[in-house]
Chain A
Amino acid sequence: MKAKTLIIGYGNADRQDDGAGWHILKKLAERMGHAVPDEPGEDIEVDSDLADLLFILQIYPELAEMISHYDRVCFIDAHTADFPEEVSWMELAPEYEKSPLTHHMSPKTVLSIAAAIYKIVPEAILVSVRGFSFQFERSLSPKTAALAEKAEKHIWEWIQQGT
């Protein structure tokens, strides 16, 4: 049986590299023959049964309910963290992370809410690319754009593994 897969790209597309998740999601949607809308929160209709796509500004608590309906979930974000990798690929387990800000809720936290409320934990990964510039722009910085391209190819392979 095919695994049900959800890809969530998140970040602020108006703040340059913070929108890496949106840019990557857009490329994935194009591979599936669809365009990603310009605004977060809009439904993305994808005829392909490979994966459902969601673009949001930030992670929020009721996402826990949504991901509880999937077997596999991939979160895509930008990072400025002290990771050795420019493109980071992490398998996620539920864990409540005390976040500096609630609207900064992490994917692990959402998984932990899904586990606590719905008793379901999908296989989950977090793919993030290093962000270098966070100005009021919709285009990625050249360095992040190159990383986003690389990340998108990996995610596409991961999606196909679930079929």
Chain B
Amino acid sequence: MATEKITIEPVTRIEGHAKVTIHMSDDGSVDHAYFHVNEFRGFEKFCEGRMFFEMPQITPRICGICPVSHHLASAKVGDRLMGVEPPRPASLLRELMHMGQIIQSHGMHLFELAGPDLILGFDADPATRNVVGLIAADPDLTVRAVELRKYGQDIIYQVGGRRIHPNFAVPGGVNRALTEERRDHMLEGLDHSIETTQIGIQLIKDWADANIEDIEKFAVFHTGYMGLVSPENGLELYDGDVRLVDKDGKELELFSAQNYLDVVSEHVEDWSYLKFPYYKKMGWPDGVYRVGPLGRLNAVDKIDTPLAQEEFETYRQINDGKPVYHTLYYHYARLIETLFALEKTHELLEDPDLMGKDILNKSHDFQSEAVGVIEAPRGTLFHHYQINPNGQLEKVNLIVSTGHNNWAMSKAVDSVAKTYVKGPEVQEGMLNRVEAAIRAYDPCLSCSTHAIGQMPINIDVMDSKGVVTQTLKRD
């Protein structure tokens, strides 16, 4: 059957370079759709030859959106390469900074990326389906949302002294103790941020109740789920073992990040620069899994903070205690995690060891190879380095959060396109749903540059001979 192709490039409101191609059949239905990642970072190669202790400063340059996650993952590899355990105050400070990253990133996502779709509607006029439209619809909530992101960003600043690219964590610990003044400053904004997140959670639950039909047909598919866990299988974002569960929540693996290569393998497709990780023992593509908020909440048994645990219990009822597999529930899971991060922030700020001055372990027992892992806002992030006796990097492998979800994003695009897109004239609202399927995963594709005019959007509809029959353009 002849087909035509629609290209959406790049996907709007996600963090980086990507495009979607939708291949249409003659009868106006979708034949298949792909999510392509065009950006090739080359960071792994670029880092070879550098000293391992420079990595916490180099890797945050991968991204302006979650630099803290790369910064801390690099430092954690550095700890292991030096064969040292950071003192407890240093680990607490790193974790606190990480909570700031989670709060700012999740806060940004709900209100500025997903919020316009959820609050104003997928089919709302694109001219108003944005933050300014949100302000008009709910000014109080929007101001609160801006404040929530700012609060998370401020934690990063108070702890690390910089808002974007921290120079804070070093192999063996951190280079800056916390002052009481800074700690008290962070405590001040906490209750307000928790209240904002709870408003957001109620909003998403009300939205889910009203849109359950959409939720149940919007990119619904089974996968495995991965995330860090505490020793009792509780939600963990900073450190712990990695747990992989199957579609029914049954544990497949519980492993140290050092052994990730025994568990995870990567598949390559010629239409994407981003690899497709999968669970080795199940093979490709049966072993695909999801990470990030939905993946994490499906991989754990509980959350160790009271307010988030209460919400987690409600979340788990969605699928009778089994993993929740509906893509749109990523938004709900993301807010539960935000609540956890805020409660965790409170816990950390009240911990007397946080103010300790013992922040750097200077001993060493050098190792030649190590892995660092952290739960970045978008999912599990592995950094794997091999060094020579001089401490220079000989090999670097990064499995970034967005990579783990690569298959799921492409599957979501295909599924939503087949469900919602109908030809011959494709409406903007249909395409917005396709984009929303990707936005649910909050991918970060690391464009790193932002010059004006770099990224116009073109949506081309092409027939089977490759002739453009319809062009939609966004400036």
A binding-site residues for B, Cβ under 8 Å: 10-12, 14-15, 17-18, 39-42, 56-58, 60-62, 64-65, 77-83, 96-104, 106, 109, 112-113, 116-117, 126, 128, 131, 134, 136
Contacts and interface: CB of A to CB of B under 8 A. Distances in A.
B449 A112 contact: no
A113 B135 contact: yes
Interface in B70-117: 108, 112-113
B132 A100 contact: no
B361 interface: no
Given A41-B162, A41-B164, A12 B15 contact: no
Given A81-B453, A113-B131, A101 B447 contact: yes
B157 A41 contact: yes
B448 A12 contact: yes
Contact of B451 (A11, A62, A112, A116): A11
A79 B131 CA distance: 24
B146 A77 contact: no
15 contacts: A11-B450, A17-B451, A39-B164, A62-B150, A80-B451, A99-B12, A100-B10, A100-B474, A101-B13, A113-B132, A116-B135, A117-B139, A117-B143, A131-B451, A136-B46
A39 B165 contact: yes
Range of interface residues on B (Cβ < 8 Å): 35 or more
Contacts of B163: 40-42, 56
B64 interface: yes
Interface stretch (B176-184, B310-318, B333-341, B454-462): B454-462
B465 to A, nearest CB: 29
Contacts of B447: 101, 104
Given A12-B64, A112-B132, A77 B13 contact: no
Contacts of B10: 100-101
A100 B457 contact: yes
B121 to A, nearest CB: 16
A58 to B, nearest CB: 5
Interface in B415-450: 447-450
B131 A96 contact: yes
B440 to A, nearest CB: 15
Interface of B: 10-16, 46, 61, 64-65, 108, 112-113, 126-127, 130-133, 135-136, 139, 142-143, 146-147, 149-150, 153, 157, 162-165, 167, 447-457, 474-475
Given A98-B12, A136-B46, A117 B457 contact: no
Contacts of A112: 132
A161 B344 CA distance: 50
Nearest to A79: B452
Contacts of B13: 99-102
Contacts of A104: 447, 450, 455
A11 B447 CA distance: 12
Contacts of B133: 96
Nearest to B456: A100
A117 to B, nearest CB: 6
A109 B133 CA distance: 12
B145 to A, nearest CB: 8
B453 A102 contact: no
Query: Which of A10, A40, A103 has the most CB atoms of chain B within a 10 A radius of its CB?
Result: A103
Contact of A80 (B127, B454, B475): B454
Given A40-B164, A62-B150, A97 B475 contact: yes
A40 B15 contact: no
B146 A80 contact: no
